Structure 1
Amino acid sequence: MIGIKKIAVHLPYYRLSRKTIGTAWGAKAGKGERRVANFDEDSVTMAIEAGLKCLQQENRDKIKGLYFASTTAPYWEKQCAAICAGVLDLPPGIRTGDFAGSTRSGTNALIAAADAVKAGLGDILIITGDCRPALPRSAQEGIMGDGGAAVLLGNSDVICHIKDSYSAWNDITDVWRMDKDNFVKTWEDRFIVQMGYEKDITHS
């Protein structure tokens, strides 16, 4: 049965505590911290780090596809999955693809990979990375951490079976960032919950 064979994550070394953020703005802050990418890290490098961990002790010749997902890819027009495939030393004849434009890009890549495995393509590696820029003094500043993750899908030696999936769309302006925006923008939380989350969950 199709499922997840392996999972790995990469978390940047640097951390920023919510207490520090609150002190800087003279406001109350919650507990905990967020990870912050170093100056030489981005979505691609962190996704690659996660991919390298995921492929440890794995036969790379069995990998038949690599999907990269991110909302903050460093290139507007250049396939990041191809860059990652080269660094990960994957075979040149595999399928590569980028998923972007939404925080659902990771789950979309996962569903596409599951469909590919089901169709008989072979094992698929999904790698993700993000450095989402939050507006200073916003609630998101203490929430949006940087990092990377990787998931290897296949139909043998799986640790978690994927029995089925269901998708639904809802065109709602809740969280967005246009090409000229420096930071992620959000609408009122109540609107997001009532018109987005609750409505979608009820429909599903």
Structure 2
Amino acid sequence: MRIGIDQIGFYTPNKYVDMVDLAHARGEDPNKFLIGIGQRQMSVADKTQDAVSMGINATLRYLDQIDKDKVGLLIFGTESSVDQSKSASLFVKSALHLRPEVRTFEVKEACFGLTAALMTARDFVRVHPDQTAIVIGSDIARYGVKTPGEVTQGAGSISLLVKSEPRILSLNDGHSAYSEDINDFWRPNDSAVAKVDGKYSTQVYLDFFKKTFDAYKEQKDWSTRDFSALIYHLPFTKQGLKANRLAIEDQDDVTKDRLSETFEASKQLSMRVGNIYTASLYMSLLSLLENYDLEPNSLIGLFSYGSGAMAEFFSGNVVDGYKEWINPKGDAALLDDRQRLTVEEYEKVFTEALEPVANNREFTSDERQGVWYFAGVKNDIRQYRQV
């Protein structure tokens, strides 16, 4: 029995800042951001968009194409949680009108959260082949205005439907994992922005990639040339490029060219959205599927990394006809319809979104019709509504 990804939903807020504008405002050469970091645009979440609302909106992108009565599990992976106790998935479950029998919870391990959710969902479907699972990664990456990490911020969500006999990507058995207790990136409970040791985090990321990729190939008795594509968690696209160069450095020209081309396809969405933490790897997957023509059964290698640190390498095979189940035009429209903020507007929106929300305060949203948003707090309870 094959188990894997049957649907992919993508959402990002309706505002962005351009990296050239940001570079000029910060007195930097734009190529430092465009080439040195590998980013063109960065989605910006205002005070009405949070992890929950984005997760709802990502799932709505495919909800009318599935049988909701078959959903038996809902897992929400995030490091932008809205409550210290209540799972973000319960807000989503309510908004989507899923059955009360659905098992639902939230998971956290930095940017590894959605991968943890996906693997749990795969095992759930293996035991319950007549049921499906929804797994969501949703995050707002915040480092602060005029900080070294500012250019690697972003906001967005990816939602996946996991089922038997999937129509997009069939997951293979086995994985390689590696973890260590380190401090390359973290966010204390009393901080609205992340703490990061950028150079150290890059070093650990590459080290963990090499360890897990080599171990996985040995486990499966595969070589690098067996992969049609390698995709990565992309906190910024230059990070993935460095890992990809490690992967192909000793390969033949055909393999180098193929894996370079597929990496370019996989980074297109990230270049325009920025860092979305738990969902970043799966935005890379969606970008690859939308921007490259893959043959049926093409082998895709996936590298997941969460600071702190946890890494995993696994793989899947593309299902014949996958193009019918993705929506590149809709995803392009989502990005093209965003409002371009000036740097001054971006700084104002960013700062307002960090402010604590007073009890019994209500918000309205300028999002497009049908989009869910955080509507404020009433009697200490978060409120979510649809435009």
**TM-score normalised according to structure 1 size:** 0.92
Question: CA-atom RMSD, angstroms?
Answer: 1.6
- Per mean C-alpha deviation after superposition, the further-off stretch among 55-64 and 29-38 is 29-38
- Per mean C-alpha deviation after superposition, the further-off stretch among 165-174 and 145-154 is 165-174
Distance in 1 (CA, whole Å) between partners of 2:201 and 2:49 is 31
Counterpart residue number, 1:152: 161
**TM-score normalised according to structure 2 size:** 0.50
1:100 Cα deviation after fit: 1.9
Aligned residues: 202
Greater share of helix residues, 1 or 2?
Answer: 2
1:54–1:92 CA distance, 2 compared to 1 (3 A): same
1:200 Cα deviation after fit: 1.7
Could you tell me whether the CA contact under 8 Å between 1:54 and 1:151 is conserved in 2? no
Could you tell me whether the CA contact under 8 Å between 1:170 and 1:200 is conserved in 2? no
Matched, 1:41 2:42: no
Could you tell me whether the CA contact under 8 Å between 1:11 and 1:146 is conserved in 2? yes
Distance in 1 (CA, whole Å) between partners of 2:47 and 2:6 is 32
Give the unaligned 5+ runs of structure 1.
none
- Per mean C-alpha deviation after superposition, the further-off stretch among 133-142 and 88-97 is 133-142
Counterpart residue number, 1:88: 96
Q: Deviations over 1:95-141 (max 9, x none)?
A: 10101241111111111111111122621001121112113223421
Q: Deviations over 1:24-46 (max 9, x none)?
A: 32223323110111321111000
Distance in 2 (CA, whole Å) between partners of 1:39 and 1:187 is 27
1:188 Cα deviation after fit: 4.2
Relative CO higher for 1 or 2, CA cutoff 8 Å, sep ≥ 6? 1
**Identity of matched residues, %:** 24
Counterpart residue number, 2:28: 27
1:113–1:150 CA distance, 2 compared to 1 (3 A): same
Counterpart residue number, 1:68: 76
Could you tell me whether the CA contact under 8 Å between 1:127 and 1:151 is conserved in 2? yes
Q: Deviations over 1:49-82 (max 9, x none)?
A: 0011121221100111111111111112211111
State the one-letter code of the partner of 1:9: F
Structure 1 moving runs of 4+ over 3 Å: none
Q: Deviations over 1:117-172 (max 9, x none)?
A: 11226210011211121132234212221011100000024321101233221222
State the one-letter code of the partner of 1:41: Q
- Give 3-state SS (helix, strand or coil) of 2:167's partner: coil
- Give 3-state SS (helix, strand or coil) of 2:141's partner: coil
Counterpart residue number, 1:126: 135
Counterpart residue number, 1:186: 196
State the one-letter code of the partner of 1:39: K
1:192 Cα deviation after fit: 2.6
Matched, 1:142 2:151: yes
Distance in 2 (CA, whole Å) between partners of 1:12 and 1:192 is 27
- Give 3-state SS (helix, strand or coil) of 2:65's partner: coil
- Give 3-state SS (helix, strand or coil) of 1:38's partner: coil
Could you tell me whether the CA contact under 8 Å between 2:3 and 2:166 is conserved in 1? no
1:147–1:188 CA distance, 2 compared to 1 (3 A): closer
